[in-house]
Structure 1
Amino acid sequence: MGTDNLDSNPLIMAIFGSEAARKPQENEYINKKDGFIYCSICKKPKQSRSGGFLHPMQCDCERKEREEAEAEEKKYKHRQALSKRKADCFGSNSKYVDCIFANCDNGVNTKITEFCFNYCVNWREMKKENVSLIFCGNVGRGKTHLAACICNKLIEDYEARVKLITENEFLERYSVIQDRGEYLNELLSYSLLVIDEMGIQTFKGNAVATGYLPFLEDLINRRYNANKPLIITSNLPKTFFINPSKDNVVNRIVSRLKEMAAEPIMFKGEDLRAKKQKEKIERLKKSLNDKAAG
């Protein structure tokens, strides 16, 4: 095809003809050597020639501006993804969105906190090997807080799909819906599932199993078979997860958890909620006394 045909092609001329007629704008000049338009700031050409036509090209300034815009767009999409992941993870338990290791000064044993942080750092291996965790201890010891820290870090570092639900939330929904299999598949789709407050409904007085126990077994069994890790937080004694039980369902649950999570992690110390409440009351009393004295 000759250049005459190219010159007479309306589409070609519409694309390239305007570039040949373009005049220098602000911060641009024509280089007398090659006749191309250059950037006055970075001194790089903004035009090139190929196939007998002038083509627009990006100078260093424009390239940097484009790369920065792309990076900002990527950050924005990442923030949006994180926000969506966290909303999905915590649902109505939105207070846990701000639980992160950076401000995890919550009275929990430092070694436990570091262990959980390293669990997140090595998440790909933990996920591959189906390494689960069991947090045991009395109420107010920081078990759920630390589990939420793990969830947030996995979301932030890997955009992982994780879910935190209480045993109560699971049983309430599982008990009433018709398609339980669909719900279990939904929970199975998460890379990590946290079952908070295990035993609060499935056991009475942390001793007698209730009719809800097979529901919990069904969930844990599916995660076990699918090689998907769990985090369990529970007020049940450590012996529950170690010693054999008279209840066959309990034994099946514990057997699977032993393989997935090994030995439970004990959260000891004082009731952190009670401690915070006491500190809050003391601050308020001091504030009132100071105002009265003033």
Structure 2
Amino acid sequence: MGEVLSIKSILGQEEPEHMNDSMSEVDDDSRPPEKCPHCGKALKYKKFAIGHFTFGSHLEKCDCSGAEAEREREMREKERLQQEEEARKRMKRIEELFRQSRLGLRFREKTFENYKIMPHNKKAFQTTLEYARNFAKYKEKGEGIFITGDYGTGKTHLAAAITNYLLGKYTPVIMGNVTKLLGNIKRTYDDSQYTETEILKELYTVDLLVIDDLGKEKPTAWVEEKLYTVINERYENYRPIVVTSNLELEEIEQRLENCGGAIVSRIIEMCMGVKIKGPDFRKQKLEKGRDV
């Protein structure tokens, strides 16, 4: 038996022929009992016994409600720490694979806290904040957001705010425009330490994929095919996406001639719509600068 061999290896002894290889617990009389901190019951120290060999002195568990509640808390804390460690490892892996397509420094600073709320964008702000705060609920349903609006209305800021919020909660997110996201795949054709399959797997399985400025990329057949593959894979497995675009869905369908209809159909089914109508923040900033 594996356990017996392991014990023999530790003890450096051979097993006697008459040894019973079934394991049991016996009292460890070399150590005085201790009181349960919850109910005061005297708890004995025990040892594991296999034949004549004993090992592993340990305090017996109390069956009182206080002791059971403490063990339950310890188990939940252990599970929480394990989940956090797994999340950190996943985050590290994603950053290694997508270091060129993750949030740049400018967008790492885009949060809900520093978003400029105005009458025309207040609803969009509230919708995206609620989505981030309740992402677990939306993730279960595979539901995302499609944010549309003119240039400079804050679409990317809101998408980056969702990303930053979730990253702060140890939720893996990949954000980038189509060109950058798919550029990692193209590099595998030349010289890369990762394969196309590995990179696609990350795009397929990451908790949230944020595609910024959809429709701005050059719509080649290869780009459309890969984009559809990624979106469809996530659609089939209830994995959400957040998409920003300055184009309406009809315009995206027309621009992506080969797979536009299928891509738009998936987006409609997967995402709630958020439309921002308002002035271009960048132009307003420039005009204010000229007035100074």
TM-score in same-fold range (> 0.5): yes
Q: Which string of whole-angstrom CA distances, capped at 9 and with x for unpartnered residues, describes residues 41-84 of structure 1?
A: xxxxxxxxx99xxxxxxxxxxxxxxxxxxxxxx9xxx8xx88x9
Which ranges in structure 1 are unaligned for 5 or more consecutive residues? 1-5, 17-49, 52-73, 204-208, 286-294
Residues 245 and 251 in structure 1, CA contact (< 8 A), matched pair in contact too: no
Partner of 1:168: 179
Inter-partner Cα distance in structure 1 for 2:256 and 2:226: 18
Which of residues 189, 194, 201 in structure 2 aligns to 1:185? Answer: 201
Equivalent positions of 1:251-290 (< 5 A) are 251-262=261-272, 264-282=273-291, 285=292
Q: Which has the larger share of helix?
A: 1
Could you tell me how far 1:259 is from its partner in structure 2?
A: 1.1
- 2:224–2:256 CA contact under 8 A, matched in 1: no
Native 8 Å contact 2:249 2:264 kept in 1: no
Count matched residues. 219
- Distance in 2 separating the partners of 1:278 and 1:239: 32
Distance in 1, Cα, partners of 2:262 & 2:179: 21
The AA in structure 2 aligned to 1:102 is E
Q: Name the CA shift for 1:160/1:217 in 2 (closer, same or farther; >3 Å).
A: same
Contact 1:131 1:260 in 2 (8 A): yes
Whether the aligned pair in 1 keeps the contact of 2:103 and 2:176 (CA below 8 Å) is no
Matched-pair contact (CA < 8 Å) for 1:198–1:232: yes
RMSD: 4.1
- Kindly state the Cα deviation for residue 244 of structure 1 after the two structures are TM-superposed: 8.0
Instruction: Give the 5 Å matches for 1:78-89.
Output: 85=91, 88=95
Say whether the 8 Å CA contact 2:213–2:244 is kept in structure 1.
yes
Which structure 2 segments of 5+ residues have no match? Answer: 1-28, 33-42, 45-79, 190-194
Note the C-alpha offset of 1:188.
Answer: 2.3
Aligned residue for 1:95? 106
Answer yes or no: is 1:148 the counterpart of 2:160: yes
Instruction: Give the TM-score normalised by the residue count of structure 1.
Output: 0.60
Alignment partner of 1:136 out of 148, 151, 157:
148
CA shift at 1:248, angstroms? 4.9
Shift of 1:246: 9.1
Kept in 1, the 8 Å contact 2:147–2:274? The answer is yes
